Structure 1
Amino acid sequence: MALKLPRTIRLDPSDTFVYARAAEPGEWAVTGTFLFFGADVENLSGKERQAFRGGFLGVESFGWSTLVVVTEATAEERAAAVERLAEQLVARCGAPGMEAARPAAEEEIAFVQSLCDHPPNTLLALHRADEEAGIRESFRTLHQKVSRLDPARAFRVIEIDEEDGPAEEVDIRALAGRQT
């Protein structure tokens, strides 16, 4: 079975104004939920709130991406992603050293790897909610609905599989007009 990991993807420029820092397309990604542990989630606003609600964290930039794409990876690429995330945990999150950061980075990479049990090029979306028991994550997959009888065309309807409840709607135009 091929090794698969999520990479950030940017289908349009919206991430660049929805988030304070957008991930670069093509970065390895983790959920980034650890950045919200202990945060006063109810008082997050604007771009921070949007990152909480639906952002994947790019390992290289520590920027956010609304979607990730399931991508085949080599063992070397996976190991490099773990190492880079560990470095980021030390530099940006206060981990006391690489010895402490590596197991945490390994755990984060293993978790997102478990989300990639889909064909390559499947898009994944994330929704976080702050609940009494803690932060709850739910994931959706977006698949292209294809029929061999359909003619080729630029746009197709996609089918969305939702694990937990309806998708949240976001008015991107309204968010773009806000300054945070």
Structure 2
Amino acid sequence: MLKLPRTIRLDPSDTFVFERAAEPGEWAVSGAFVFWNRDPAALNQKQRVALRSGFLGIDSLGWSTLAIVTEASEAERQAMVEHLAGQLLEKFGAPDLEAARLAAEEEVAFAASLCDHAPQTLLGVQRSVEDGEIRERFRTLRPREAAAGAVSLHTHASAFTFHEVEGDDEPAEQVDLPGMIRTDSMTRDRG
């Protein structure tokens, strides 16, 4: 079974901080390509937030602060590629469907590479522009073993009651999402 990211909404903040929030449960990609060849200084506040910390939902082309590692079939992966290819052709000016498919395959492969974690692991991204290039750092937030199956794409009320980050020394009862996200990270650069 493959693993791919889906958008998740733990609270309503995505609907306030992004121009368009992704719906919970959409297949997601990094979305950094949206900002290629764009001057960060020319972006409005909500676009800058998406640049800094958003995953792109491929159905709505909306943004999500977090994504969740989800098992997927090869048919779902292929449908994700085809749908993203269509979006790249229609909304982002890909020259033809073949070029759009190649780009979509690359984006989906990169998204899959972020999911080398147990299902239900939450992913966060932090982007910066350094020397004119977008640099992405990804972080993970893992559920406790006893509650690993309790996270749902559509339920969020209890999500903070059982999540912890590996290596976090704070008591489990205290929730500091920014602090939790900082502790387990990986940096992925694409050339």
* Shared fold per TM-score greater than 0.5: yes
TM-score category, normalised to shorter length: 0.7 to 0.9
The correspondence of residues 133-144 of structure 1 with structure 2, limited to 5 A, is: 134-144=133-143
User: 2:184: which partner in 1?
Assistant: 162
- Normalising by structure 1, we get a TM-score of 0.83
Deviations 1:97-117 (A, max 9, x none): 211100000000000101100
Structure 2 residue matching 1:24: 3-state secondary structure: coil
User: 2:171: which partner in 1?
Assistant: none
Structure 2 counterpart of 1:156, which letter?
A: F
User: 1:16: which partner in 2?
Assistant: 15
Q: How many Å separate the matches in 1 of 2:164 and 2:111?
A: 23
Q: How many Å separate the matches in 1 of 2:164 and 2:45?
A: 29
Structure 1 residue 133, shift from structure 2 partner: 5.4
Structure 1 counterpart of 2:33, which letter?
A: F
Structure 1 residue 96, shift from structure 2 partner: 1.7
Q: How many Å separate the matches in 1 of 2:111 and 2:66?
A: 13
User: 1:170: which partner in 2?
Assistant: none
The count of aligned residue pairs is 159
Change (3 A) 1:8 1:147: closer
Structure 2 counterpart of 1:101, which letter?
A: A
The correspondence of residues 32-43 of structure 1 with structure 2, limited to 5 A, is: 32-43=31-42
Structure 1 residue 164, shift from structure 2 partner: 6.4
Structure 2 residue matching 1:13: 3-state secondary structure: coil
Structure 2 counterpart of 1:163, which letter?
A: S
Structure 1 residue 118, shift from structure 2 partner: 0.3
Deviations 1:47-79 (A, max 9, x none): 011000000000111000000000000000000
Change (3 A) 1:76 1:164: closer
Please provide the CA RMSD for this pair.
1.8
Q: How many Å separate the matches in 1 of 2:72 and 2:8?
A: 15
Structure 1 counterpart of 2:107, which letter?
A: E
User: 1:3: which partner in 2?
Assistant: 2
CA contact (8 A) 2:29 2:58 kept: yes
Structure 1 residue 146, shift from structure 2 partner: 4.8
List alignment gaps of at least 5 residues for structure 2.
148-157, 166-179
User: 1:49: which partner in 2?
Assistant: 48
Structure 1 residue 86, shift from structure 2 partner: 0.2
Structure 2 residue matching 1:82: 3-state secondary structure: helix
The correspondence of residues 21-100 of structure 1 with structure 2, limited to 5 A, is: 21-100=20-99
User: 2:130: which partner in 1?
Assistant: 131
Structure 1 residue 42, shift from structure 2 partner: 3.0
Taking every aligned residue pair, what percent have the same amino acid on both sides? 57
List alignment gaps of at least 5 residues for structure 1.
149-153, 166-180
